[in-house]
Amino acid sequence: MKFLAPLGVVLGLCVFTLSSLRAGEEETAWLTNYEQALQAASKEKRPVLVDFTGSDWCGWCIRLDKETFSQPEFLNFAKDHVVLLKVDLPQDKPQSDEVKKQNEALVQKFNVEGFPTLVLLGSDGREIARQGGYLPGGPAAMIEWITSAAKL
């Protein structure tokens, strides 16, 4: 019986920590709807970082997500400075027909020729900057690119 109280405390802390992590992830979640991203950017007066990706087949896209976009340093920056929009063109992940149609149209609209392609949009939807291909350097390089291009 002596071990139940400490075990309960440990389990409680684990649940609290996981809840906190999930809350943080929700705050910096990638949107998938272009119009919602533009509305949020306009409301919050922030640029939109658009990640054109092939999340389940593009090796450089997967590496960029792992080394940069999933890192706490980037997520903390993004939460306060940009609206995140993921335009995914997967091969095997299921998507609704609506999302597929929107994403294919955005690839055409922004003349995306390879993956990953990053496009930084102003809160008005105009293109500010573009990065074709993998951006090395992890969160620090991405944050520098965004802050420099958007003059944050």
Whether the Cβ atoms of residue 61 and residue 112 lie closer than 8 Å to each other? no
Q: What's the pTM?
A: 0.82
Tally of CB atoms within 10 A around 55? 18
Helix, strand, or coil here: 2?
Answer: coil
**Distances, alpha carbon 54 to alpha carbons 70, 91, 127, in Å:** 16, 7, 21
**Comparing C-alpha atoms, which of 127, 148, 112 is closest to residue 48?**
127
**Distances, alpha carbon 66 to alpha carbons 24, 93, 131, in Å:** 17, 18, 18
Show pLDDT as tens, one digit a residue, over the chain (152 residues): 444 445 544 444 444 444 444 444 445 699 999 999 999 999 999 999 999 999 999 999 999 999 999 999 999 999 999 999 999 999 999 999 999 999 999 999 999 999 999 999 999 999 999 999 999 999 999 999 999 999 98
